[in-house]
Amino acid sequence: MDVLNLAELLLSPDEKNELHSSMELLEQSDHSAFYEKNQSIIQSILFLETLEEFLDFSKENELDAECFCAAFLCAHGYGIQIGGYEDDLTHTLMEFFHTQGIEYPEISEIVHREKIYTDCSDYDNFKKSMTAINQVLDSHGMRLIVLEDYIYCDCEYTVLRVDKTLAENVLSTWSSENFEIYL
């Protein structure tokens, strides 16, 4: 299983159609139409602000399908993307948990216990905090999956909320060239 397979399991039928339509544009090298349809997602992945910048990028590079799919999932409310060098994720995580309906006091306590940060090293406390949060979520039948990639940035984390059973399936069958999975 990779990000594309995971998206197939999470997305609604309409969202799947939207994703497939976008992927077809990308495969057909219709970069202008792809950009028009996915401008905010492209900006979140590549930090490119204009069609011209994306067309310039596309002359020499292909947009990675798994990276696009991970960003697509986040843009549709299934997760959040977190950069590899974030100072304080308290507000970001609490907002995400609120939108996901995950408002348990134990989780709030974990998030507020200490400043959660990432620095793409063994010294960040992000993964440790996500592990503690997953221990709470396990008893509620859900889990966070954290994907890490190094394709366009030093590292980027994609955090997805999934059903506990699906998370176990994903963990046991994960096979991606681009994303390492944690939790």
Which pTM does this prediction carry?
0.92
Using CA atoms, how far apart are residues 31 and 27, in angstroms rounded to an integer?
9
pLDDT at 115: 86
pLDDT at 23: 95
Using CA atoms, how far apart are residues 27 and 4, in angstroms rounded to an integer?
14
Per domain, the residue ranges of the chain are: 1-76, 78-183
Residue given tokens 């994960």 in the structure block: 174
Beta bridge partners of 81: 158
Using CA atoms, how far apart are residues 42 and 168, in angstroms rounded to an integer?
30
Instruction: Find out whether 32 and 99 touch, Cβ atoms under 8 Å.
Output: no
Distances (CA, A) of 56 to 29, 37, 53, 123: 13, 17, 5, 37
pLDDT at 134: 95
Q: Smallest Cα–Cα separation from 176: which of 153, 142, 148?
A: 148
Mean pLDDT by 10 residues, the chain (183 residues): 96 97 95 96 92 94 93 96 88 95 94 86 82 95 92 83 94 92 80
Task: List the alpha helices (DSSP H) in the chain.
Answer: 3-10, 13-27, 31-46, 51-60, 65-75, 90-99, 105-113, 126-138, 164-173
